[in-house]
């Protein structure tokens, strides 16, 4: 590295090189969220949600991911986790706050070993907080934002992540009370509020379509935005082929159309064999009730 | 990954995505060699020599590096070694021959642990041959090409690599003999040839300018092409600052000008803080005897 002993700190932004494959990233504006990143099957997958200060999977560690404080890893395939040490090292280099990284509990130990190996090589601290999260477990990234891991179906252990907004609301019986009365009740120890959660964004990582049928995943299909893989989009590769590789075919998504209550669905992880026009054609052929609310992340195609 | 069980093999070339930061790579033609890659201090360094089928350092694993069979790692800083697992995984994904990776002997065990951690996570083989090479030791990449590790001076253990062409030549005393006489001698077991080596390409990786003064490194300064770091190029950062970070300042290269017998010098690893024009200005101000034979790798600036 250019050295951690460097005294003149440089901001990460002033160092965004024009070479970055991500300079062309315009990001998508969907349902009030800005969604950025790159996702090409086998190459790299990293989805960035700047307003939530998080990224899902790290791919090859695109520049914009570095400024996100939270990173959620879906599974240990190289195109999803390969850039993880680079992400931590670069945040260290620029003296940014050590990131918090959430991984499937089953790979936590391996991820620790990864960092140990790098520390032995580069004599750096690679500071970060590593959290192993099991399916069903939750992690709060803010007081009003929690993330729950949900089950996905891939060829190796994998999980998706569901971001919920969390709000405290006044219980119905106190709504008509004057402010000072409410204050008094609260100070006396009465529980005057209840908690509401709303599924905001779900990210699947790599998975077969089976996650759609999993009754535990009902919130995933109710999230405002569902970011899901659709590795294959045309007939040359069948839905059966997709299953064989642990992936989802667009035709399956269309078959399950009635189940998706999401306001928007962002499809990612298209096969590297596709040219942009193949993806665009497949998108424009999506019938109702999905038509008009399905988007494709085609950065890099 | 998109799956290693995939039956329809895809060539790496047909999958070169247009998103790659390296699509703009035109490569440099220097002294009969094509030199490609990207090198930005702290970000990524990977220098590719396609005609030798090798890369020096792997950076973030740019697309073009994947097709090189041999990889030489100079040291364990993340911007030089971070993409190593991705390089091996991607060659595996595309069913390319497992690569041969040469690393400083002192980090070999850590690199093994890195791959073990990834194998545990992604259940893949990550096939490759890993060679630990000490300073002064040699490795043949072809019968007529050998690479020797040479000493460099960085903040962590590091080494450069020197590629030699190796040729067998007929001994002077046999030059005037007719062909069948030579054949007869050879068959009778007489050693009729001797070996000549010529230093073709040297790569420093990250280093202070001290490697220039190291009498063991005389061949490095005689290589047809010297690829060396020049992290700093202007006066805001002094040569002393450069030393403090384990790097070289362009002013030091200019001060040592008389020592370089190289036909060409390719400067790499400029600080990410520089804009292209700063580097270009510094290049055009290089005085004789270096003027005209110093090139800069500015891909990405």
Q: What confidence tens digit (pLDDT) does each residue in A208-264 have? A: 999 999 999 999 999 999 999 999 999 999 999 999 999 999 999 999 999 999 999
**CB-based contact (8 Å) between B40 and chain A?**
yes
Q: Are B223 and B262 in contact (CB under 8 A)?
A: yes
Size of interface A-B (CB pairs under 8 A): 183
From chain B residues 67-86, the ones with a CB under 8 A of any chain A CB are 76-79, 81-83, 85-86
Q: Count other Cβ atoms within 10 Å, centred on residue B26.
A: 8
Burial of A202 (0-12, 13-18, 19+ CB in 10 A): buried
Instruction: Give the three-state DSSP class for A284.
Output: helix
The interaxial angle of helices B108-122 and B84-93, nearest 10 deg, is: 50
Min Cα separation A82/chain B (Å): 6
**pLDDT digits over B192-210, tens only?**
999 999 999 999 999 999 9
State the pLDDT at residue A1. Answer: 54
Q: Do A123 and B156 touch (CB under 8 A)?
A: yes
Spell out, as residue ranges, where chain A has pLDDT lower than 50.
3-25
Does the predicted interface ipTM exceed a cut of 0.90?
Answer: no
> Nearest-CA residue of chain B relative to A103?
B121
**pLDDT digits over B95-135, tens only?**
999 999 999 999 999 999 999 999 999 999 999 999 999 99
Q: Do A2 and B272 touch (CB under 8 A)?
A: yes
Q: Are A148 and A161 in contact (CB under 8 A)?
A: yes
Instruction: Give the three-state DSSP class for A254.
Output: helix
Interface test with A, best of B11, B42, B273 (most A CBs within 10 A): B42
**CB-based contact (8 Å) between B105 and chain A?**
no
Look up tokens 């230093």; give the residue. B199
> Nearest-CA residue of chain B relative to A9?
B273
State the pLDDT at residue B27. Answer: 85
State the pLDDT at residue A282. Answer: 97
- Detail the DSSP E strand segments found in A134-187: 138-142, 145-151, 159-170
Spell out, as residue ranges, where chain B has pLDDT lower than 50.
3-25
| Chain A environment of B301 (Cβ under 8 Å) | 17-19
> Nearest-CA residue of chain B relative to A271?
B2
> Nearest-CA residue of chain B relative to A124?
B77
* Summary mean pLDDT of chain B: 92
Q: Are B55 and B103 in contact (CB under 8 A)?
A: no
From chain B residues 185-214, the ones with a CB under 8 A of any chain A CB are none
Sequence length of chain B is 301
Min Cα separation B138/chain A (Å): 22
Going by C-alpha positions, the residue among B143, B64, B60, B69 that lies closest to residue B102 is B69
| Chain A environment of B85 (Cβ under 8 Å) | 78, 82
Prediction pTM value: 0.90
State the pLDDT at residue A200. Answer: 98
Tokens matching residue B180: 């069948």
């Amino acid at each position: 590295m250019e050295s951690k002993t460097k005294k003149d700190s440089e901001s990460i932004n002033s160092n965004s090189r024009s070479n970055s494959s991500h300079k062309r990233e315009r990001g998508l504006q969907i349902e009030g969220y800005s969604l950025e990143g790159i996702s090409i099957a086998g190459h790299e997958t990293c989805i960035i949600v700047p307003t939530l200060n998080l990224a899902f999977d790290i791919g090859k560690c695109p520049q914009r991911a570095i400024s996100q404080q939270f990173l959620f890893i879906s599974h240990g395939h190289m195109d999803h986790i390969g850039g993880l040490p680079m992400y931590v090292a670069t945040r260290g280099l620029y003296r940014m706050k050590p990131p918090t990284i959430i991984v499937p509990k089953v790979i936590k130990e391996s991820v620790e070993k990864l960092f140990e190996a790098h520390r032995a090589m580069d004599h750096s601290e690679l500071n970060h907080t590593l959290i192993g999260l099991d399916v069903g477990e939750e992690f709060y990234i803010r007081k009003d934002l929690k993330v729950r891991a949900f089950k996905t179906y891939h060829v190796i252990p994998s999980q998706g992540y569901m971001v919920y907004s969390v709000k405290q609301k006044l219980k119905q019986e106190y709504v008509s009370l004057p402010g000072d009365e409410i204050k008094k009740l609260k100070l006396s120890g009465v529980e005057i509020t209840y908690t509401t959660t709303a599924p905001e964004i779900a990210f699947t990582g790599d998975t077969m379509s089976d996650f759609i049928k999993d009754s535990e995943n009902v919130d995933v299909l109710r999230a405002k935005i569902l970011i899901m893989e659709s590795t294959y989009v045309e007939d040359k590769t069948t839905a059966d082929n997709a299953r064989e590789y642990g992936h989802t075919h667009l035709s399956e998504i269309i078959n399950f159309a009635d189940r998706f209550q999401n306001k928007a669905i962002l499809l990612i992880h298209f096969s590297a064999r596709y040219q942009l026009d193949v993806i665009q054609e497949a998108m424009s052929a999506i019938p109702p009730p999905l038509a008009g609310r399905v988007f494709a992340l085609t950065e890099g195609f």
